[in-house]
Amino acid sequence: MKISQQGFIGLAISIIIGLVLIGSGTYVYLNKVHEQKSGSLSTAIPSASSITDLKDVKDFDTCMSYAKNAQINFDIVFSHDSNFEEVNKFADAFKAKYSRATIEKITSETDYLNNAVELNKHSIYTDGQMTDYKKMISAQANSTISIKVPVVDLGTKESFDDFISKTLKKYSAITFQQYAGSSPEDSLDPNVIKMFQQGAEKQCNYKYKQLNETDRSALQIKIDDSLIQTLVSSTRVGATLYHDDHNSYGIGSLSLNNGLCADAGVNGIRKMLDSIKEKAGAVYCYASSNAYAVSAPLKSNPATGYCSDSTGFYGAVSSPKAASKGYCNLPPPEKKTDISSCQNGKTARERWICVGNIVDPQYNIYGLVSPYAKPNSDKIASCKTLSGIEADYCFASIVKSGTAPGFTQEGALICSMVSNKNPWFKTDCTID
């Protein structure tokens, strides 16, 4: 039975991202589509049984070979202050163990810092700001080995883990931090490999036994657009993690390749942006301290694009450069601070809910019964960085979050931090 194009696109996307899994404690990146450009000067045509580059796929046989030799791209990241000479030795050992692996690049902490400064230089306006920025990111700097290797070459999860563990013991001056990109360990799950191979067989059969060249070209455009949309919308995951870690999306005012856009570390989205650019031909990422947006052109119509941003929007847009505004479609609503109408509520709870929906509309305040955030020093310190009614509501939200019934002495102390600008709200702070 002939597979519909819509169903096939879903299948193809599943195949493309089938090896992309969540590594424990690491940022999630979608795996790159395997359209790598060969760095070799050789013009030899690879044998039909060892196709590892998509550009060499010409027919059913080479498609099946590529499916069996599909490669994953990932970084081995070493923690701050790891010895770079030993990082290079580790790369040599990896290449010796897995001969078909390509070591795409090895970056030092200096490379990390220089790249971050270069990408953010347009948003850092004074020497003092640059000095502070370098101090801030120096502790985050790490060294990485970027690898491309056929997943079938890595063997089992147990054998791969054993190799990594033994090699790390040989070089005591380096510390493994994480895998970035596709997790090679998770990609070695037998069920993942089986799913990928079965899907790839269906893909090859459909493309090369049921479609002509014109149909294949048209279908490929649809597949590319679906992947671009998936990648762009997925930047929201990394952006959320980055904001949680840094309490901002970038440094200062809105600019290209600022903040999370430039960060190739654990929670930055630089690697994902590289994957989008590889497929779409261009990508635009703008960030400021409180907003970000990512957009890219679509293959079916490069004059249009797909975009996601910090307002929660993701979807088609009229321009591939839509992100340059700092949002995709509509600007974020301005935060309102006039809460005077809330004092008309019949109960303290009604009044508090009213204030919450004005000051912090992001949360479904109506659905909150009690727990919101425990009264701890970190939360209190965070509230102190705010001003006006935002600070007042922040303090009050701590009190209202108490998990035990009754009003505590600690709660009374926090309520005393609420300003006298709205005395009725200050009073409500002490009422459960």
pTM, rounded to two decimals: 0.56
Q: Domain boundary residue among 313, 332, 351?
A: 332
Q: Is residue 191 part of a domain?
A: no
Based on the number of CB atoms within 10 Å of its own CB, is 340 exposed (0-12), middle (13-18) or buried (19 or more)?
A: exposed
Both 326 and 368 in one domain: the answer is: no
The larger pLDDT score, comparing residue 300 to residue 19, is at 300
How far apart CA 286 and CA 240 sit, in angstroms, is 15
Residue 328: inside a domain: yes
Query: Which of 309, 332, 355 represents a domain boundary (last residue)?
Result: 332
Give residue-wise pLDDT tens across range 189-237: 888 888 888 888 888 999 999 999 899 899 889 989 999 999 999 999 8
Does residue 263 share a domain with residue 221?
yes
Q: Do 234 and 290 belong together in one domain?
A: yes
Is residue 252 within 8 A of residue 326, CB to CB? The reply is no
Q: Are residues 220 and 322 in the same domain?
A: yes
Amino acid identity at 245: D
Q: Which amino acid is at 351?
A: R
Q: How far is CA 211 from CA 207, 224, 331, in A?
A: 5, 17, 44
Residue 284 bridge partners (DSSP): 295
Tokens 């990512």 belong to which residue? 294
DSSP 307-373: EEETTS-EEEES-TTGGGGSSSSSPPPPPP---GGGGG-SSHHHHHHHHHHHH-TTS-GGG--S-S-
Residue 139 lies inside a defined structural domain of this protein: no
Instruction: Return d(Cα 22, Cα 142) in angstroms, integer.
Output: 21
What is the per-residue pLDDT for 214?
A: 92
Closest by CA position to 279, among listed 224, 353, 340: 224
Strand ordering across the sheet containing 176-181 = 102-107, 143-150, 71-78, 176-181
- The reply to whether 367 and 423 lie within a common domain is yes
Q: Which of 168, 23, 162, 198 is nearest to 93 (CA)?
A: 168
For 66-119, the DSSP string reads HHHT-EEEEEEEE-TT--HHHHHHHHHHHHHHSTT-EEEEEE-HHHHHHHHHHH
Q: Does the residue 248 lie in any domain?
A: yes
Reported confidence tier of residue 334, pLDDT bands at 50, 70, 90 = low
pLDDT, residue 401, reads: 52
In a domain, 41, yes or no: no
251 and 348 share one domain: no
Which of 49-53, 122-126, 161-165, 333-337 has the lowest average pLDDT?
333-337
Q: Are residues 359 and 262 in the same domain?
A: no
- Residue where one domain finishes, among candidates 281, 305, 332: 332
pLDDT at 115 over 50: yes
- Range of the structural domain that residue 283 is part of: 215-332
Asked if residue 252 is part of any domain, the answer here is yes
Tell the burial category of 245 from Cβ atoms under 10 Å away from its Cβ (0-12, 13-18, 19+): middle
Is position 93 within any domain? no
Domain count of the fold of the chain: 2
For residues 388 and 353, membership in a common domain is answered with yes
Residue 329: per-residue pLDDT: 86
